[in-house]
Amino acid sequence: MVLIYKIFRADEYAAFAAAGETQGAPIDLADGYVHLSTGDQVAVTASKYFMCEDGLKLLALDADTLGPALKWEVSRGGALFPHLYRPMRHDDVVWVHDLPFEDGRHRFDGLTL
C-alpha cells in the first residue's frame, strides 16, 4: 500500500463527508484535478498552502487503488506529485486525522507518513 495525502479545511471536509465525493478544494477545481501529496511532500504542502490554519483534516488514500485516474506529474521543485483526475470518493479514503496547528507549525506527530 502506497499512501498519499489530501489536506482539507474543516468546511471542505464536511462537504466531502456529507456528499461522499468531491472534486476537491477551490484550487483543485481551478486546476481540473485533485491535488495530493506524498508523505515526503505533505508537511511542505501544509506550510505553503495552509500556514497558520487550524482545524485541518489530513486524509490518506491508497495510491494503488486509484487506477489510471491517478497521474504523477512534475510540480513544485521538479518533484513528481500525485494528481487525481476524477472525483475523490469516500471509499478512496484509508483514514482521516486532525491536523492541528500548534507552536507555529502543523503537527504530524504520531502519524506514519
Asked if residue 101 lies in contact with residue 41, where contact means CB atoms within 8 angstroms, the answer is no
52 falls within a domain: yes
What type of residue sits at position 102? E
Query: Is the pLDDT at 17 greater than 80, yes or no?
Result: yes
Q: Would 97 be classed as within a structural domain?
A: yes
Domain extent at residue 67: 3-103
Q: Is residue 63 part of a domain?
A: yes
Question: What pLDDT is recorded for position 113?
Answer: 77
pLDDT at 110: 75
Check which CATH number belongs to the domain holding 8 and give it: 3.20.170.20
CA distances to 2, 15, 64, 73, 105 from 10, rounded to whole Å, are 25, 9, 27, 27, 17
Q: Which pLDDT does position 103 carry in this prediction?
A: 86
Q: Is residue 113 part of a domain?
A: no
pLDDT tens per residue across span 43-89 = 999 999 999 889 999 999 999 999 999 999 998 788 899 999 999 99
Q: Is 109 a member of any domain? A: no
Asked if residue 112 is part of any domain, the answer here is no
**In-domain check, residue 111:** no
**Could you tell me if residue 108 is inside a domain?**
no
Q: Please give the tally of structural domains in the chain.
A: 1
